[in-house]
Amino acid sequence: MGAEYSFTFENFNIQRGLLWNQENDVTKGIQLDFSKDPWTVSVSWNDGFYTDQYTSASVLITYTFKNKDTLTAVAMGNYFGTVHHWTPSGSTIGAAMLAKYSFNDEISCSGRLEAISSSGRANLLYGPRSSAWSITITPTYQKGIFFFRTEGSYLSIISVENGFMFGRHGRKNNQTRLFVESGVIFKNFRH
């Protein structure tokens, strides 16, 4: 669920975002898909984080423009709560916007803006009842099978209660991150 995948090479950005750890990768349930140009809709009723409690749902709606650009809206949630008696309760709510623009066949740039907050006693972010936001920019150059991309991101913890932040002593509420990634994209060659 969501716009960031389990395999990092499929993602717009080098580093996963704040919301990724809140998304479920593997679930059991039922999914209905509908597609009629230019719309695609997927609706799922599932067991959330592989809990055997069918209390989660997700919706993905995609519109494809004539030039093959897409606009996608995604929502998921656990509508009754999942009960685990051995852990404190907690929940998160977040939103993200991801975008990618290709200047030409070799140069593109992607970005992500997101915010998330938690409630309850469980440590789901940077401590119980914490919230944060981040912005990420990832320019990419690709020539044939070779690619090179850099990334800059800024993360700010808005609030935290009895948790850990950044820095040597865990008291700094923001962090700037810089990454460089290069590699080869293997393609399926046909004879």
pLDDT of residue 164: 81
Question: What is the per-residue pLDDT for 169?
Answer: 87
Please give the pLDDT value at position 190: 60
Q: How confident is the model at residue 161 (pLDDT cuts 50, 70, 90)?
A: confident
DSSP assignment letter at 69: -
Is 2 domain-assigned? no
Whether 129 is covered by a domain: the verdict is: yes
Question: What confidence tens digit (pLDDT) does each residue in 70-91 have?
Answer: 898 988 888 766 566 667 888 8
131 inside domain: yes
DSSP 129-190: T-EEEEEEEEEEEEETTEEEEEEEEEEEEEE-SS---BTTTT-B-EEEEEEEEEEE------
The pLDDT value given to residue 188:
64
Does residue 3 fall inside a structural domain? no
In a domain, 120, yes or no: yes
What integer pLDDT is reported at residue 136 of this predicted model? 97
- Residue 180: domain span: 8-184
CATH of the domain at 94: 2.40.160
- Count of domains in the chain? 1
Residue 36 above 70 pLDDT? Answer: yes
Q: Is the pLDDT score of 64 beyond 70? A: yes
> For residue 96, is it within any domain?
yes
pLDDT at 76: 86
pLDDT at 178: 97
Residue 109, in any domain of the structure: yes
